[in-house]
Amino acid sequence: MRASRLAARVDNNAIADGFQLYLHGFVIAKDGEWAIVQQGMDGSRGLARRYHWHSATVKDFTLEPHTGIVGEHRGTIMNLVAAPAQPAQRALLDAVRERPEVTLGNIRKLTMPRHHDVQAADVDLRRLGAVLAVAYEREFHDFSSLLLLEKLGPRTLQSLALVAEVVHGAPTRFSDPARYSFAHGGKDGHPFPVPLKTYDATIEIMQRSVESAKVGEADKIDGIRRLNRFIEGVENSHAPMADFDETMARERSISGSLGGRTVGSKQDRSTRAIDQLLLF
């Protein structure tokens, strides 16, 4: 039972190759020798990958445990049970053994500025520029409707583009988390009040996408993934640098039309539940 569970955890969690397990076969002989064949699926590409284990060759579940992995080569992946990943394993163990407040303090030193308000220095302006170009420049905005299979206003598209990056982007792109505050603002007004209309529209689009995927209609949720890839392509080719002050000024100028709200705003019964959600 332990071998079965560990093998599943390794192939589903420690190997980040984009394939999620859906089949687990465990065969055991009378003398206790066992073999495992697991299959994972990359639903976005319609590809499968198999993971083979044999007890005779497994010396350590966390160090090169596989007899073989069978599937189309997809480039570099994160494999935490590969031999070169042992330093990363030790670092993870050190992190979980450390007191949480120490670990969080170290993370804040690496990623978060000491000031509360969002400043230009906190944001990768080329990445933000790619998002704004796709949202506001007609050349890209028209193409986005093809990507998402529905018409979206530029402000909703801007938010959805940043959400798509959180869902599908590579970990290396999360080096400037302040950029994501340009999706839905902040309840304290930084960098601008929460645009409730855009906030609700983003939730509705994501919910419809997930519901469509559940019944086998994956076009919309695939559109979110394609949007992320498209923006990365714009960024790597000819994305303009975002003008931070101009972007802030535009957001604040349209805040009222988007139902901009902060914690200190007057509220009525129809929006109180949303405010409570934002506070949570």
Q: Hey, where are the domains in the chain?
A: 2-86, 118-279
The token pair at 105 is 């303090």
Q: Does 13 score more than 80 pLDDT?
A: yes
pLDDT at 148 over 70: no
Give the other-Cβ count within 10 Å of 55's Cβ.
Answer: 14
Token pair in block for residue 240: 């303009």
pLDDT at 217: 73
**Nearest of 8, 1, 6 to residue 23 by alpha carbon:** 8
Look at residue 110 and give its three-state secondary structure.
helix
Q: Which among 74, 83, 61, 68 has a CA at the least distance from the CA of 13? A: 61
- For residue 146, the model assigns a pLDDT of 59
Share of the chain above pLDDT 70, in %: 84
CB 58 within 8 A of CB 50: no
pLDDT higher for 250 or 169?
A: 250
Measured distance CA(26)–CA(4) in Å, rounded: 7
Tell me the C-alpha distance between 82 and 264, whole Å: 51
Residue 123 has pLDDT above 80, yes or no: yes
Query: In the structure, what pLDDT confidence band is assigned to residue 66 with cuts at 50, 70 and 90?
Result: very high
Highest mean pLDDT among 4-13, 90-99, 227-236, 237-246: 4-13
Q: What is the pTM of this model?
A: 0.52
Question: Of 41, 38, 36, 43, nearest to 19 (Cα)?
Answer: 41
Place of tokens 């109180």: 272
Max mean pLDDT range (32-36, 142-146, 154-158, 271-275): 32-36
Backbone angles phi, psi at 44, to 5 degrees: -70, -30
